Structure 1
Amino acid sequence: MTTPTVSIILPTFNRLKYLRPAVESVFAQTFQDWELIFADDGSDEDTKAYLRSFSGSPHVKLLLLSHTGNPGTVRNAALREAAGDYIAFLDSDDLWAPLKLATQVKALSDSPRRWSYTAFNRIDESGNQADENIRQWIPYEGAIFEKILLMDACIATPTVVAERRLIEEVGGFDDRQVQHEDYELWLRLILRSEVLFINTPLACVRTHREHYSQGGLWALEWKRRLFEKMQSLAVDPNLLPCIRQAQAR
């Protein structure tokens, strides 16, 4: 296989009923110069059997990992195997529109900005439009550190495409950050490159009961650690008041 333009990082842990349509949405892309890297976090045998069914595909790499339950660790394992100029992220329960990669690769190739994200739709367990009260996000782009930090900009993981070298420059995911690890990476990316926004829904983010996030004091502790890290990384002193404002929320 020649070096692909895009390496797709897809972490898995069971969820076979959602994984199948996620993978189908990759193979349905109009842009086909990609490699798909499955990073399996110790799934059950049915899921592993499904993943092994792609072993003959020249476009697919399979990493069978011991279970950690740490999304950053799993994604970093796949990043180390990635060869593409760009990295695209897809979670095992989400979906891409067929034009997603074509749209973002073209937009990035025409722009000095080194990463991008898109609008997205929310879907339920059955793949229908989610019937819930969803905040209306404003489409921010450019140097939006403050907007990301204050969560005024919503950057969903399956909407992101970034230069591989940019992700490598910032060190990939922080595997010590077991919650908000994607949010923390976006903050480090925006300190190095402005972001390009595409105001077209090119991904579907699924809402379902299997989503699990520890809340309460545990989540607050990880946010506290994240903000402390941002204070140490923010070379522009003008960003410090914004970080303190986010901490106070």
Structure 2
Amino acid sequence: MSKVSIIIPNFNRATYLKQAVSSVLKQTYVDWEVLIVDDGSSDDSKQTILDFKDNRIHWIERNGDLKGASVCRNIGVNEAQGSYIIFLDSDDMLAKHCLEQRVSILKLNPNLDFAVFKMQFFKEQPGDDLRIWNIDTREDVLQRFLNLDTVWQTTGPIWRKETLKTIGCFNPVLQCWQDIDIHIKALSFSLKYKIYYDMPADCWYRKDSENSISQSSTNSLVKLQSKRILLEWVKSNNILNSYSHLNMVIHILVSAINGYQYKFFFNLYNENKTKMPVKLRHSILKMALIKFSRSTKLKSIQSIYNRVKESLVSNNSTIGKYNA
């Protein structure tokens, strides 16, 4: 058998973490290890893990000044003993057939660098929400990620460990969009992969999780800077043509306005305005002015602001499109 290393970054998620690890213990495929990489928790996460008393479950504490999920995942990859890697967030879960389904696919397709599987939403218990993370739109996958339509979430793929090392794993300085970053990177490296839309969903994503980083506001300056780092990487590597990342630019501009980060907004706007159609430039500036006025309590233009915002920001999101 080929060992699968399941890497779980954790920060003060003892209750959810217990459920995540329990879902691994139920797997029909038994050659696995779990690496919980803790980011400095102050709750009883460590004792929760020790209580499992299973030598396949390992507790690792992050060292160094850099913190965050990306740092923890990279530590996990370096410590992993398995041939295959799956990333599992501490508040999500695996279906019992997950590992067996994924390993069988990679064994049957030795040419694949990674394979992607469907993920289903849940709120309290798996099965209480029938929506699937994403659907096949027949659009270019890389372009969808650049449009911020996240085709799959971090737990969606199973990777060959050497593949992850080739592309450099996660960018440790990013505080958000880590999944968009690594998947754009994987696609731009022209790795061989396949999305198995026709197979049963084999993992669950907890919707509206308490204290979820990925589902929290992304308008802070720290998170805006993370988004800009990714944008600059896309531009500098000429991933696609000059207009292919325009939705990403607009999203960051709108986020900066919503977070009252006007200096950040104007710097980014000035650098990218020549690539935008004139009407779009005027609309974005108008929205910035309206938002500024709104922030000074001129509530009479609230409805105008909302209409302008809706006309600029598409339905694309970091949750992507999904079936009901």
CA contact (8 A) 2:113 2:192 kept: yes
Listed as ranges, the gaps of 5+ residues in structure 2 are 252-324
Output the aligned Cα RMSD: 2.7
Is 23-32 or 36-45 further displaced after alignment? 36-45
Shift of the 44–216 alpha-carbon distance from structure 1 to 2, 3 Å rule, reads closer
Matched, 1:95 2:93: yes
CA distance in 2 between partners of 1:23 and 1:117 (Å):
21
TM-score, scaled relative to structure 1: 0.85
CA contact (8 A) 1:140 1:153 kept: no
Correspondence for 1:216 among 214, 219, 224 = 219
CA distance in 2 between partners of 1:155 and 1:123 (Å):
16
- By how many angstroms is 1:98 displaced? 0.9
CA distance in 2 between partners of 1:95 and 1:40 (Å):
18
- By how many angstroms is 1:63 displaced? 0.3
Residues 131-178 of structure 1: per-residue CA shift (max 9 Å, x gap): 9xx797322699732122223342111222111111101111110111
Q: Count residues in correspondence.
A: 242
Q: Which residue of 1 aligns with 2:237?
A: 233
CA distance in 2 between partners of 1:72 and 1:170 (Å):
14
CA distance in 2 between partners of 1:151 and 1:108 (Å):
28
Residues 21-40 of structure 1: per-residue CA shift (max 9 Å, x gap): 21111111111111111111
CA contact (8 A) 1:143 1:190 kept: no
- By how many angstroms is 1:214 displaced? 3.7
CA contact (8 A) 2:5 2:81 kept: yes
CA distance in 1 between partners of 2:247 and 2:226 (Å):
17
Shift of the 9–141 alpha-carbon distance from structure 1 to 2, 3 Å rule, reads farther
Larger Rg: 2
Q: Which residue of 2 aligns with 1:23?
A: 21
Q: Which residue of 1 aligns with 2:152?
A: 155
Matched, 1:120 2:113: no
CA distance in 2 between partners of 1:64 and 1:141 (Å):
42
CA distance in 1 between partners of 2:75 and 2:122 (Å):
28
CA distance in 1 between partners of 2:133 and 2:96 (Å):
24
Correspondence for 1:46 among 44, 47, 51 = 44
- By how many angstroms is 1:223 displaced? 2.1
**Which protein is richer in strand relative to its size?**
1
- By how many angstroms is 1:61 displaced? 2.2
Shift of the 59–127 alpha-carbon distance from structure 1 to 2, 3 Å rule, reads same
**Which protein is richer in helix relative to its size?**
2
Listed as ranges, the gaps of 5+ residues in structure 1 are none
CA contact (8 A) 2:11 2:41 kept: yes
CA contact (8 A) 2:20 2:93 kept: yes
Letter in 2 for 1:175: P
